[in-house]
Structure 1
Amino acid sequence: MLLYTIVPIEQIFPSEINNLQYQEIDLGVGKKIIIEKINDSQCKIVRLISTDSNDYLNPQFQPGSIINLYPF
């Protein structure tokens, strides 16, 4: 299920958020992503917070995308 809203996920799914551990990563220049750790080397993007509207069109920051924590 995809839900695109400005309402924080904590307000929509309050019981589900307690079971998951999210981390916030500051990418600089008004960009932050909230990630959920999958394993030691990968994580999934849960939310993008940005002041630049073009960042929301960038598939690199799309919620659900898997990113590697280590470039090895």
Structure 2
Amino acid sequence: MYYTVVPFEVLYDGIEKMSNKDLLECRVGNRILTLRKSSDSEMEIVSVFSTNPWDYMDPHFAPGHKIKIKWFIP
């Protein structure tokens, strides 16, 4: 629930273009991160879900932060 003066259209601008197939959820410790591929070697954090309030203050898990990845295919 959002309590804001920002119009709904501004908050959700472009959400129709994003599909679930573009997103990946992964667990890091007790956090659940939603990631979007930004390049072949990077993922961008879209959102964080955690029961620990300090996780939301950690800049390493902030939305928009880029994570370098290495793909492993057995």
On whether the aligned pair clears a TM of 0.5, the verdict is yes
Stretches of structure 2 that go unaligned for 5 or more consecutive residues are 3-11
Aligned-residue CA RMSD in angstroms? 2.1
Q: Which amino acid aligns with 1:38?
A: S
Q: Once superposed, which parts of structure 1, at least 4 consecutive aligned residues long, lie more than 3 Å away?
A: none
The aligned counterpart of 1:41 is 41
The aligned counterpart of 2:9 is none
| Correspondence 1:31-70 to 2 at 5 A | 31-70=31-70
In the alignment, the residues of structure 2 paired with residue 61 and residue 36 of structure 1 have an alpha-carbon distance, to the nearest angstrom, of 13
The aligned counterpart of 1:25 is 26
In the alignment, the residues of structure 2 paired with residue 15 and residue 21 of structure 1 have an alpha-carbon distance, to the nearest angstrom, of 12
Identity of aligned residues (%): 29
In the alignment of these two chains, the number of paired residues is 59
Q: Secondary structure at the match of 1:54?
A: helix
1:12-58 C-alpha deviation (Å, 9 max, x unpaired)? 454122386000011132x1100000122101000001110000000
Structure ID, larger Rg? 2
Q: 1:53 to 1:34 in 2, by over 3 A?
A: same
Q: TM-score, normalised by structure 1?
A: 0.69
Q: Which amino acid aligns with 2:68?
A: N
Stretches of structure 1 that go unaligned for 5 or more consecutive residues are 6-11
The worse-fitting range, judged by mean Cα deviation, of 20-29 and 48-57 is 20-29
